[in-house]
Amino acid sequence: MSAAPPGPALVFGAGAVGCWIGGCLQAAGVPVTFVGRVRVLDALRAHGLTLTDLDGGRHHLAADSLQLSEAIPDGCRPALVLLCVKSGATAEAAAMLARSLRAGTLVVSMQNGVNNAAIAQAHAQALAVRAGMVPFNVVELAPGGYHRATSGTLAAQDDPALRAWQPWFAAAGAPLQLHADLTPLLWGKLLLNLNNAVNALSGQPLRAQLLQRDYRVCMAALIDEALAAFRAAGITPARLTPLPPAALPFVLRLPTPLFRRVAARLLRIDATSRTSMADDLSRGRPTEIDALCGEVVRLAKANGLPAPVNERIAELVRAWPRDPRPRDAATLRAELGLA
């Protein structure tokens, strides 16, 4: 590994993903500036940044070692920007980056959904925006405490400038794989993210939710519709779990004792883990439902297919502020019209 990183990094949208990945990079020796909201930054000022993971890893970065800002600092010249806001904030974030950063600055979208890099690029045409993919789940366990609760390898669209960063991601304990075409991985991730709506409406931790068959039947129905839309559109999603995407609905519908055995690696999830959509609902923030289930509905419609289950669950998530009612598994299954 070279003695010095390619340059400083900027996390735009310091939340679960931004604090975890940015914190790991800083722990490996990369100077990182975190741009985020007062709520998050004040917690970091008070407690520092503690990073943990389900493999037992732990790092603590003292508060006075953190560069924290509510806006992009004047004269900031990062060699790498990690775009870590939720999908609904992408356009505005990209426009802010475009106003402050030098033309050609490398920006990697670490967001879920398949279109964020394109949206960011459209709003920041002078910057070099690349798609990224975060396969694991990160939760905020305490103020300033972020925990990687599942496993997986970070991925991004290949770019010569990103190759120089790979040793630093590896040293940070968050290796980054580069792909000539990230699209199949983004669709593969979207398939798994369809469960975010189920998890958010369940009000339960991810592992507990996945161990209830009626919730899995809901997830399977969402995936069925997505797979049909993918086939019609000629999209082949990448395999991100030990199971191939086409086998997911069948395995999810298995009785729970069998599911536990077949999907043991899929269930390697901390009991603490929940999806960020669940946090969004509980904090009254906008969700990414439009970039997830909404994307399936659009793709299905564009290919002349219905996607009623994705459509219905998106309605339930959008209705949450008026109807904030966690659903038990049988209720959610019934509300989605799944016999």
Ligand X SMILES: NC(=O)c1ccc[n+]([C@@H]2O[C@H](COP(=O)([O-])OP(=O)(O)OC[C@H]3O[C@@H](n4cnc5c(N)ncnc54)[C@H](OP(=O)(O)O)[C@@H]3O)[C@@H](O)[C@H]2O)c1
Contacting positions for ligand X (CB under 6 A): 13, 15-18, 35-37, 40, 84-87, 89, 92-93, 96, 110-112, 134, 137-138, 276, 285, 288
Task: Give the pair of three-digit tokens for residue 247.
Answer: 């086998």
The residue whose Cβ lies closest to ligand X is: 15
- Residue number, 212 or 275, with CB nearest to ligand X: 275
Q: Which is nearer to ligand X, 137 or 212 (CB)?
A: 137
Q: How far is the CB of 330 from ligand X (least distance, A)?
A: 27
SS3 of 27-39: HCCCCEEEECCHH
Residue 40: CB minimum distance to ligand X, A:
5
Matching residue, tokens 């600055």:
105
Nearer to ligand X, 111 or 212 (CB): 111
Give the CA distances from residue 48 to residues 60, 122, 196, in Å, rounded to whole numbers and listed in that order. 7, 35, 29
Contact 242, 252 (CB under 8 A): no
**Is the CB of 88 or the CB of 338 nearer to ligand X?**
88
Shortest distance, CB of residue 43 to ligand X, whole angstroms?
11
* Contact call for residues 284 and 321 (beta carbons, < 8 A): yes
Q: Measured from the CB atom, is 186 or 217 closer to ligand X?
A: 186
Place of tokens 């940070």: 172
C-beta of 303: minimal distance to ligand X in Å?
Answer: 25
What is the end-to-end Cα distance of the chain in Å, rounded? 56
Decide if 213 contacts 202 (C-beta within 8 A): no
Nearest distance, CB of residue 225 and ligand X, angstroms: 20
Measured distance CA(57)–CA(337) in Å, rounded: 43
Minimum distance between the CB of residue 14 and ligand X, rounded to whole angstroms?
6
Cα–Cα separations (whole angstroms), residue 304 to 259, 299, 315:
33, 9, 21
Closest distance between ligand X and the C-beta of residue 271, in Å? 15
- CA triple 310-235-274, angle to 5 deg: 45
66 or 138: CB nearest ligand X:
138
Q: Strands 138-142 and 145-148: what pairing?
A: antiparallel
Contacts of 13 (CB under 8 A, 6+ apart): 35, 36, 83, 84, 85, 86, 89, 93
Nearer to ligand X, 52 or 214 (CB): 52
For Cα atoms 149, 178, 54, give the angle at the middle one, nearest 5 degrees: 15
| Beta carbon nearer to ligand X, 92 or 181 | 92
In the complex, the smallest distance separating the C-beta of residue 167 from ligand X, rounded to whole angstroms, is 23
Which H or E run includes 215? helix 213-233
Helix, strand, coil share (%) of the chain residues, nearest 5: 45, 15, 40
Nearer to ligand X, 27 or 289 (CB): 289
* Shortest Å, Cβ 86 to ligand X: 5
